[in-house]
Structure 1
Amino acid sequence: MTARKKEDLDSPENPNQEQLQQPEKEISWIYCGPNQRGLLNQYTVYRGGLPQHLEPHFEKCPGLKRLIVPIEQFPQTEEAVKQPGTAENVWYQQVLEYDGGAKS
């Protein structure tokens, strides 16, 4: 997988989203974004789908869901997150700004 460029952010198609919609075949997913206090921890692995309580947060901050990738894509995604100008880096920055999981 090559790093996606910032221009790809406007594209409604995200290759990971199609896999998330398919019936689970014991696919393992990993969250590559920053910690979100009380919501998500970096490098959390999910099997058999994603927790339902995250859905409202995915709507408010799409970067959260976009940074949950099949575990096979983890090394490439982790590198892309560190490269300015990639879609993954922009999503990471969006998640840093999102405080939906913070407790008041």
Structure 2
Amino acid sequence: MASIEGQKTSPTQVGETIEEVVGERFPGTVKTEKFMYVGPATKLLPKYAIYEGGLPSFLDEHFEKCTALCKVFIDPLKLTEHQIAIADGSSVQAMLYKKVEEYFSEVK
């Protein structure tokens, strides 16, 4: 376990140390990273599906072919912010959504 006592540290380092201590003392209680899919619904991906512990590996082939796909997975806590941005048709989020939609319309 890394000791940060007496050192100048960033909030990120403090948070990581806390997670490390909690994980050692209470295994299974450290939160895993969550990703919510906010792209168009497809046969492979329902809209708003949440994946824990990383991006879904069954999509690796699609991530390689469509770089925009990994960008339509967001932190679930940022959903409202994302929905506001996507409502603006000229936003980056709206353009990424359209690229993913086009990609999946060609995939069979």
Of the three residues 75, 79, 86, the one matched with 1:81 is 86
How many residue pairs are counted as aligned between the two chains? 79
Partners in 2 of 1:78 and 1:58 — Cα distance? 22
Alignment of 1:85-100 (within 5 A): 85-99=90-104
Partners in 1 of 2:81 and 2:96 — Cα distance? 15
Gaps of 5+ in 1: 1-23
Query: Structure 2 length normalisation: TM-score?
Result: 0.64
Partners in 2 of 1:57 and 1:79 — Cα distance? 27
Gaps of 5+ in 2: 1-29
- Over residues 23-56 of structure 1, what are the superposed CA-to-partner deviations in whole Å (9 max), with x where a residue is unaligned? x95122101110122x211100011112212111
Partners in 2 of 1:78 and 1:44 — Cα distance? 15
- Runs (4 or more) in structure 1 with deviation over 6 Å come to none
Instruction: Give me the CA root mean square deviation.
Output: 2.1
Of the three residues 37, 46, 61, the one matched with 1:31 is 37
Amino acid at match of 2:38: C
Partners in 2 of 1:59 and 1:100 — Cα distance? 17
**1:68 counterpart residue number:** 73
Query: Structure 1 length normalisation: TM-score?
Result: 0.66
**Which has more radius of gyration?**
2
Higher relative CO (CA 8 A, sep ≥ 6), structure 1 or 2?
1
Instruction: Quote how far apart the aligned CAs of 1:99 are.
Output: 2.2
